[in-house]
Chain A
Amino acid sequence: MDVATEVLDLTVNGEQRRFAAPLTVAGLVSALALDLRKVAVELNREIVPRSTYGQVWLARGDSLEIVHFIGGG
């Protein structure tokens, strides 16, 4: 099987999304066009430290939450 055609099915913020494997958290944030300085990421309910985004590889079925700050009281 050609590595380049492998797909990665993830749940991101509750949505089913398909990406090309292999993919790190940094790659995912970039693929989603998000500014990685302004978000926080939880992978399977564990916080992913920003300093490790480039080293954390995602696997099929992973569930992620990507959050940011919004207005609130």
Chain B
Amino acid sequence: MDSLPLQDDAWRVAGRSFASRLVVGTGKYKDLATTAAAIEASGAEMVTVAVRRVNLSDPKAPMLQDYVSPSRYTYLPNTAGCFTAEDAVRTLRLAREAGGWNLVKLEVLGPAPTLYPDMPATFEAAAALIKDGFEVMVYCSDDPIAAKRLEEMGCVAIMPLGAPIGSGLGVQNPLMIQMIVEQASVPVLVDAGVGTATDAAFAMELGCDAVLVNSAIAHADDPVLMARAMKAGVEAGRLAFRAGRMPRRAAANPSSPTNGLIR
């Protein structure tokens, strides 16, 4: 592996450089120790986190920061649970004060059962956050027009869904993901829908800069093992993308020479 230029293959967002192309969520784990072990195994350098009220009745309850150190991992505060632009902006202003940094993940969702990105509200929140000095990585629909518009507004990364959040169905619309990748001049991450390592590899083969995974790791029977699998999947997909796949053919073509056969 030493001959492969893996170390030179970092991706950059908002002036920060990351060697790992796997971003992981910190939600849905059975406990904080498992969260920490899975994130360690994933090799991720950036983790998403949520902002919530502290538990006043149990102020000494273990905190995420005690297990997943913000000095080791880049915290990417999200707006999960926000259904309006106003809520999203308010949440991330609090996150900025709690964490002291401007890099955030914006997601404004529509109602269940789709939880599909609410794009009008997403545009509104993105505009307000950018105006307020945030560097916005934005969760969005797999719509190339919307993705381009978000980029033109100043979003620092575009994060289309591969499939509905928590569905584990993999990339359902690879054509649109590929179109978004090809037109983008900021990083593109598939966010939501990855179910297993092949899904992550496939997203990377489409040319995505990184993949964001939470449920697929947290809800695996063995989250630590799946975290390691996702790391391998993302690396394999990235290498395959860089290598450039062979052309698809509609007919067979023998792998061994057809001349020099014994008679």
Contacts and interface: CB of A to CB of B under 8 A. Distances in A.
Nearest to B191: A73
A12 interface: yes
A47 B97 contact: yes
B132 to A, nearest CB: 11
Contacts of A14: 53
Contact of A70 (B50, B93, B165, B215): B50
Contacts of B50: 69-73
Nearest to A17: B56
A56 interface: no
Interface in A1-40: 12-15, 17, 32-35, 38-40
For the complex of A and B, list the 5 residue pairs with the smallest distance between their C-beta atoms, beginning with the closest. Answer: A72-B50, A73-B25, A73-B214, A40-B98, A40-B97
Interface of B: 25-29, 32, 35, 48-54, 56, 59-60, 63-65, 70, 75, 77-78, 80, 90, 93-95, 97-99, 165, 212, 214-215
Given A48-B97, A72-B25, 10 more contacts: A13-B53, A41-B97, A67-B53, A67-B98, A69-B49, A69-B77, A71-B28, A71-B29, A72-B26, A73-B212
Interface of A: 12-15, 17, 32-35, 38-42, 45, 47-50, 65-73
7 contacts: A40-B98, A69-B50, A70-B50, A73-B50, A73-B80, A73-B165, A73-B214
